[in-house]
Amino acid sequence: MTYPYLEAKEIDGIIRGITMSGHWDEHGWWIVDFADEKLKEIKPEKSLEKTRGMWLFKGYLLGKNGRYEDALKFSEEVLKINPMSEDAWWLKGASLGHLDRHEEAIMCFDKALKIDPNYADAWCAKGITLRELGRYEEAIECLVEAVKIYPRYVYAWCNRALALWELGRYEEAVKCVNTALNVNPEDEDVIRLRKNFLDKLSK
C-alpha cells in the first residue's frame, strides 16, 4: 500500500501528533507501509533532509518493538550524516533512557532542545527521565514546558501528575490528570491513573 498524496516532510509532524495523542494503535501503523515503500527508493546519505522523518520513524519503530540497541545505533548513523537533527538526538536519548543510561539520555535531550527550544517531545522525554531519577522538581519544570508548547500533550500531563504526586502535591496531580482526561476522555491509561489517585486519596 502506498500513500502518494503524503509528502515525506509531513512524516515528522504525523509522528509527533500520534505520539502526543497516545493513539498509536489506532492511527500509527499505516505509516509503516508508506515509509518502507519510500525508503526502498532513496538512500539517506543522498537526500537526508527530504527523508529525515521516514528514517527517524524507522528508528522509532525499532524502539517501539523494544529493540533499543538497534534504535540507538540507527540514531547515531543519522547523526553522523546530520548532527543538527533534533529528532535524531531525541531518538538517541529515548533509546538510552530505555537502556537505563539516564544521564546520557538527558544530554541528548538537551542537545535536541538547543537546536529546537520548542521541541515538546524533547521536553517531555527529559522530564520523564528526570522523574525516573527521582529529580521531581526538575521533571515538573520540563513537563510544564512541554504542555506550554503543546497543551493537548496527554503523556506530558500524566507524567507531570506522577511527579507532583511523588512530591505530595496531590491536588495538583489530580488536576493534571483531569486536564489529560479532558483532552482524551477515552484514554484508558489516563482513566486508570485518575482512579488510582482518587482511590489513594479516599483511604
> CATH number for the domain including 27?
1.25.40.10
Residue with cell 535524531: 88
d(CA 75, CA 114): 17
Helix axes 11-21, 154-166, angle to 10 degrees: 40
Structural domain includes residue 160: no
Structural domain includes residue 145: no
CB 120 within 8 A of CB 149: yes
Structural domain includes residue 87: yes
CA angle 105, 96, 148 (to 5 degrees): 45
d(CA 144, CA 121): 12
Structural domain includes residue 202: no
Which residues constitute the domain of residue 107?
8-116
Structural domain includes residue 99: yes
For the chain, the domain total comes to 1
Q: How many residues does the chain have?
A: 203
Give the pTM. 0.76
Q: Which pLDDT value is given to residue 69?
A: 87
Structural domain includes residue 55: yes
Grid cell digits, residue 30: 499505516
The one-digit pLDDT tens for each residue of the chain (203 residues) are: 232 333 444 445 545 554 444 444 444 444 555 555 555 554 544 444 555 555 666 666 666 667 788 888 888 888 888 899 888 899 899 999 999 999 999 999 999 999 999 999 999 999 999 999 999 999 999 999 999 999 999 999 999 999 999 999 999 999 999 999 999 999 999 999 999 999 999 97
Structural domain includes residue 92: yes
Structural domain includes residue 147: no
